[in-house]
Amino acid sequence: MNNPRIVIDAGHGGTDGGATGNGIIEKNLTLDISKYMYNRFRELGIPVTMTRTTDETLSPTERVNRIMDAYGDEKGVIIISNHINAGGAEFSYHYII
């Protein structure tokens, strides 16, 4: 991929806290991870944007619209959606080239 562009989706947010346990709230952790990734990609000179940068509620439609608003339907766009499983699930990852 010659010119990657990245959209980072911090899972959950606002009224949707996601999983909680041991004092950890998923929506906060996914936002922290997403901000770290955003800053790191910028340091590397890779175009990157985020679906949310604050604790806000996004409907599935709003989430998709923000992804599409970032780079449209261009090829070579990588979308990373961060979620933290509460337990019992296996790690998985997906990528599109």
pLDDT of residue 85: 74
The pTM of this model reads: 0.84
- Domain residue extents for the chain: 5-82
Q: Residues 31-77: pLDDT tens digits?
A: 999 999 999 999 999 999 999 999 999 999 999 999 999 998 888 89
The DSSP string of 40-79 is: HHHHTT--EEES-SSS----HHHHHHHHHHHHTT-TTEEE
How far is Cα 38 from Cα 48, in angstroms, rounded to an integer? 6
Confidence of residue 15 (pLDDT cuts 50, 70, 90): very high
Q: What's the fold here for domain 5-82?
A: Aminopeptidase (3.40.630)
pLDDT of residue 90: 57
Mean pLDDT of the chain: 88
